[in-house]
Amino acid sequence: MVCGPARYLVFFQYFGTRYSGVMETKSDQALVGVQNYLEEAAQKLKPSAPIKFHISSRTDTGVHALANAAHVDIQRAPGKAPFTAQQLVQGLNYHLRPEPIRILSAQRVPGTFHARFCALSRTYVYRLLLGCAHHSQIPVFERDLCWAPAGGELEFWEVKVKGKAFLYKQVRRMVGALVAVGQGKFSPQRIQELLELKDSRAFPPHSMAPASGLFLQSVEYSQEDLAPPGAEEELS
């Protein structure tokens, strides 16, 4: 008897600096997506059918994730039991080396579960380092992990935004607008005008916060959507 594929919800993190974003791209590009590496690692687990990661939340070039999510169906050869969560996490992490991508956890979910459409909310954090007169003053271990606009005392700020879904580059526009107001480049009235226009093209491109400071912090789901009906599944 041949069983169907097992569906898993996988949480993973990555430094986005060296990737074109999280989504899959053509392998001949200078920068490719995190998804390319996830699927390459999964194929080395020798499934009996090609593997496709369905990503919960898109992130752009240079954006990082503390915990993104995806669901994946894995069909094993006849006679082989589905991977346990621990086996899947360990196997994927082994084949992801030395990329700065790590699987945090995995769990079996129903075949109807979808990582993108079942998400209740997504939380982003934007990290600002204030008080640097020049980019060379950014600590070496913080470069590519924050934005250091001029002005203010030397201190870190974090802007946290939570919502069910976000528009393209929405968080970076929001943070850029806040910084522009603080620097006196925008007036509060200007922000109101941009909101009333409801046109992303009206936002000055030079005022958008850079990708380096943005982190996808978490993706939340309902436990009812995660629990396989009538089955006990091992969690990592």
Residues identified as active-site: 60
Give 49's contacts (C-beta < 8 A, 6+ positions apart): 5, 75
* CB-count exposure of residue 177 (10 Å: 0-12, 13-18, 19+): buried
| Residue 44 tokens, joined | 């080395």
